Amino acid sequence: MSSGGADYVPSKTSGRLIAIIVALLIVTNVITAVGVYYAAAPKAAVVPVQVIGPWAGDAIKNPSSEWGKFKPVLDKFTNDTGIPYVYTPTRQEDLSPTLPIAFQAGQSPADLIFMPSATIKQWAAKNWVTDLTGTIGPSSYQAGALDPLTASGHIWGGAYTGKVKPGFWYNTTFFQANSWSAPTTWQGFFSLLGSIKNSTGNPPLMAGDGVGWPLSDVVEHFIETYGGASMHKALANRSLSWTDPSVKSIFQNYLVPTLTNGFWTAPTTWDNPGVTLWWDGTNPLYFMGSWITGMVPNPSALGVFPLPGGVANQGIVFAADYFFVPKFGAHQDLAKRLAQYLASEPAQELQVKQGGHVATAANVPTTAYPTVDRNVANLLSGKTVLSDLDDTIGNPFQGVFWSQLQSLWANPGTWQTVLTNIQTAAANQP
């Protein structure tokens, strides 16, 4: 101790060290306090995007169901983005009358909805649809894929994968056991139908039905084969009458004789029991879209042939599944992200791998397709690709068209009256 009794004064270096320690303690306490605050504060819930689509089924018990094949695509969206989804299966014919009521009230039951292209464009004209120009674009698609959804330079929806409607499907094992083969002429087709009927005692042709669809697909196939792509397009744009002699001849000479000779079943629910009765050979020929490849236990045993003969410029319907973003959806930003994803090559490649789908997105490799679907794609060669006729025109024509075809199958002798009624609906379509 020094002799003067003076108080101890720390060195300048020690003073700075103490100041630093105090400052660090203060900062640490502040960080800890902030962390405790945010840990205790309620976290914002992750909002799911709401989706309505036409695909149903039990994805767990039956992964090959329509929903079971679409679910992996939405799951990938969630895994890639962290955005969950809620999917509700609803038939499009059930949505047609209910969605306008919701939209008129400024509400929407979902953020992204699958509907026919004609319906989407009609609703866009009513200012119910979000413009997706800039969100998705033609550059990500195969040529012409967005044409049905484009008007006045605006893109009102997106095209998902589609289905080719190529002809009559059959179980090759069953055909080989009976020494039957795909016909190459109209007379050969008619003779085959007679042979099958005599052998099985049942109508050879399954008439799949729901509300008049897919009977409408059958009629379109007769038109595009024996009237050609030009007739199909003219009926779709309503520049040709259904009562024109050229159209009447298709019905009189080709379709109606198959009905009057008892070659068709009564209209039967298309998926169940329709698919079962067809696959087990009860009614061994079925006109259906390429989605049927995912609905049988052994797709490698599938064969398909179009109506034989016909005119030079034949067509084939490629029906895409279209979606849109309602203007009144609660989560427009999430819906646009999902729309962009569904239009992409990765999403559509995953979908076509499931079977029964054909991509509209560009650059999906052919190696992604199961063998049977690659074979279906080959049927497009040399034919004009057409849009689904009644989907293109839309309602109310579509509903009348379907109901009139149900009437035709029940009473084929009334075919001329049926055509008159269909033409009336076409002429009165807004």
| The pLDDT value given to residue 43 | 46
Tokens 């959804």 correspond to what residue? Answer: 149
Token pair 């050229």 is at which residue? Answer: 246
pLDDT above 90 coverage of the chain, percent? 72
Q: Rounded to an integer, what is the distance from CA 176 to the centroid of its chain?
A: 33
pLDDT (0 to 100) of residue 374 = 84
Task: Tell me which residue of 128, 131, 176 sits closest to 153, measured CA to CA.
Answer: 131
Q: Does the model's pTM come out above 0.75?
A: no
Q: Is the pLDDT of residue 106 over 50?
A: yes
Enumerate the domain spans of the chain. 49-164+320-375, 167-288+396-428
The amino acid that residue 206 corresponds to is M
Per-residue burial over 108-136, b = 16 or more CB atoms within 10 Å of its CB, e = otherwise: bbbbbbbbbbbbbbbbbeeebbbebeebb
Are the CB atoms for 324 and 154 separated by under 8 Å?
no
CA distance 76 to 82: 10
- pLDDT, one tens digit per residue, over 174-231 is 999 999 999 999 999 999 999 999 999 999 999 999 888 899 999 999 999 999 999 9
pLDDT in the model for residue 5: 39
d(C-alpha 373, C-alpha 245), whole Å: 37
- Residue 243: CA atoms inside 13 Å, Cβ hemisphere, count? 12
Q: Do domains 49-164+320-375 and 167-288+396-428 have the same CATH topology?
A: yes
Q: HEC string of 4-23?
A: CCCCCCCCHHHHHHHHHHHH
Cα–Cα distance for residue pair 259/265, rounded to 1 Å = 9
- Please name the fold of domain 49-164+320-375: D-Maltodextrin-Binding Protein; domain 2 (3.40.190)
Quick check: 413 and 344 in contact, CB under 8 A? no
C-alpha separations of 103 from 51, 69, 157, 311, 325 in Å: 16, 30, 17, 45, 12
The predicted pLDDT at position 168 comes to 97
CB 388 within 8 A of CB 319: yes
In the predicted structure, residue 380 carries a pLDDT above the cut 80: no
CA atoms within 13 A on the CB side of 418: 22
Note the pLDDT tens digit of each residue in 232-285.
999 999 999 999 999 999 999 999 999 999 999 999 999 999 999 999 999 999
Q: d(Cα 40, Cα 35) in Å, to the nearest integer?
A: 8
pLDDT digits (tens, 9 = 90+) for 82-98: 999 999 999 999 999 99
Kindly tell me if the per-residue pLDDT of 14 is higher than 80: no
- Structure confidence at residue 25 as a pLDDT band (50, 70, 90): very low
Q: Which two tokens stand for residue 212?
A: 């008049």
For residue 363, the one-letter residue type is N
Distances (CA, A) of 66 to 71, 72, 354: 9, 11, 10
Quote the tokens at residue 406: 């149900």
CA atoms within 13 A on the CB side of 119: 27
Residue 53, both tokens: 């689509």
Strand partners, 139: none
Domain 167-288+396-428 annotated CATH 3.40.190.10: yes
**Least trusted range by pLDDT, from 27-36, 89-98, 123-132:** 27-36
Cα–Cα separations (whole angstroms), residue 374 to 62, 247, 345, 398: 24, 33, 17, 31
- Work out whether strand 154-155 and strand 150-151 pair parallel, antiparallel, or are unpaired: antiparallel
